[in-house]
Amino acid sequence: MKRGEKIMNRSCGQAGLMLVFCLTLLRTSGSAQDATGKIEGIAKDPQGAVVPNARVTVTHLGTGAERSGKSGSGGTFSFVLLPIGQYRLTVEANNFAKYVREPITLNVNDTLRLAVDLKLGTSQEIIQVSDDAPLVETLGKVTSGREILDLPLSVFAGCGAQPAVDQRG
């Protein structure tokens, strides 16, 4: 193999590696743009004490997809990377009535923090909470079409600077 052929093969190999690297970056950055959010919260009894080991389930109302878990020792639960949409939250624990809340609207990049107030009872009893129950806190913001249209078109508009203009005729 001649010296020129070796350089050409090395260049092609490096170009191939660079292509694979770029495609990997594109795939990674694309997945970060997925339309997901997070639902988290804390389960408490009527006296305000946390309820550990409660079975917590979120169900996407559009697809029926479910995710389940248990509340931790501090009564907290968290479901990350949930596709946006409407959800039902169900919380069940021994000696407490079943807690059901729906619909819960999850938007892009939302972090919904819910306070789950369990009531004493049996698992056959159901506490139904409607969508007008307040969230503890919502992080993230949904931007309306009007807000987008009202954005300045120029990068100079927000800072009071003007682009340079040649006044010579």
Cβ neighbours of 54 (radius 10 Å): 22
pLDDT tens by residue, the chain, 169 residues: 666 555 555 555 565 555 555 455 445 444 445 799 999 999 999 999 999 999 999 999 999 999 999 999 999 999 999 999 999 999 999 999 999 999 999 999 999 999 999 999 876 777 778 755 545 444 555 555 555 556 555 544 455 555 455 556 5
pLDDT at site 151? 58
pLDDT at site 64? 97
pLDDT at site 124? 72
pLDDT at site 155? 46
The label of the residue with tokens 């389930």 reads 57
